[in-house]
Amino acid sequence: MSKLNVVILAAGKGTRMHSSLPKVLHHLAGKPLLQHVLDTALQLSPSNIQLVIGHGADEVRTVVAGHNVQCVMQEQQLGTAHALHQALPNLDDSAIALILFGDVPLVQEATLRTLLQQASDTTMVVLTCVAKNPQGLGRILRDSDGNIRSIVEEKDATPTQRAIVEINTGIMAIPVARLQRWLPRIQSNNAQKEYYLTDVVELALEDGCRVLTSPCDDEKETAGINDRAQLADLERHYQLRETTRLMKSGVTLRDPARVDVRGTVKCGRDVELDINVILEGSIELGNNVTIGPNCVLNNCRIGDNTEVAANSVLENCLVGNGCTIGPFARIRPGAELSDDAKIGNFVEIKNSKIGRHSKVNHLSYVGDSELGEDVNIGAGTITCNYDGVNKFRTIIGDNVFIGSNTSLVAPVTVASGATVGAGSVITQNVAEKQLAIARGRQSNLDGWQRPLKRPKQP
């Protein structure tokens, strides 16, 4: 195949979205529609990617910053051919131009590769699809031998032509050298007074260029998004596709309709996901991992034989083998749980290392800390790591027992084998095997009378 240039058309406002956000920046499966298209385009290793922008240009530029993408402005939205014309000066003369759309997020790499395999300096290819409901879409017109002869937009179509169910997806592969001759010849003498890119089919045939079609079997793959209902419909389709992939790889989903994949997920053998699980970012789950209902995992790596109980949230963390987490636990960024660690209900861990066989059982907060092996953190314990300006670390050695309702005021170290009595406020280091108790003396006063509420005045 010749050198590949990609042009993504993303200038539209998206009026039917009823939003101040550009249409191509609305999210599907956790990332902008445009990002889906760009990610797929990058898999094709093009030498040049042109992004035609217009409405919300500054916001769109921000999303693609960091990618090797050149943005070109379409000041007036005068149709697809007009949009492509803005990028034409930046395309390589000897390349094949692949035309994609920023609001068509689910087109697959394999589909585009099949399309591109047929394209050449003397052949353009149109991606087509058979639609259950072709309303609003351009129809493929063929001659008696089945060869494509033109594409007609619905507003310009006759009743007979509107009965055709083979539609134009808009995605095309066209030799750039031919485009340079064809685009200036396209006229706007149609119902919408726009410059249609579809007119290149007739111009190509007039020019002796072959025009082929490449069918796409999945209608949803080439569907565009114009309103919130269509966005929700494609979200469900995407989720079904991803959950089906997980199940085919051996993952048990208690209800595939109630699991959302918003990133990349790699699973070992015998993984189980309960209902209402959300997987975001990069997720790696080892063998025999169980995720309970209503859990959110974001950029996590979880080792073998670990159980995450209901209503837990894990973000940017590493979890070892044989751990138990939750229910109602929150594992925040920077947390690292070693093998066989136990994090109980209503526990929060942030930027801390929890050693092997250590337990933070319930109702505790551990932040900016390092726990050794076989540590027991009693209920209601907190590390006081923040003085309002700076963060400080708490270091706890191996085999330390921290009694319930303890406050560890960082920076502080509790050495291996030490014990801290319940209800203590620890502000100084504790040496190995020491017992630390820091609490006020109890006073019991006889004859104490509780204060009484004063009656309300009329």
Indicate which residues carry an active-site annotation: 362
Give the whole-angstrom CA distance, residue 161 versus residue 175. 28
Residue identified by tokens 């079609």 is: 213
Greatest alpha-carbon span in the chain: 108
Closest CA to 328 of 293, 279, 285: 293
Give the whole-angstrom CA distance, residue 57 versus residue 52. 9
Residue identified by tokens 């031998």 is: 145
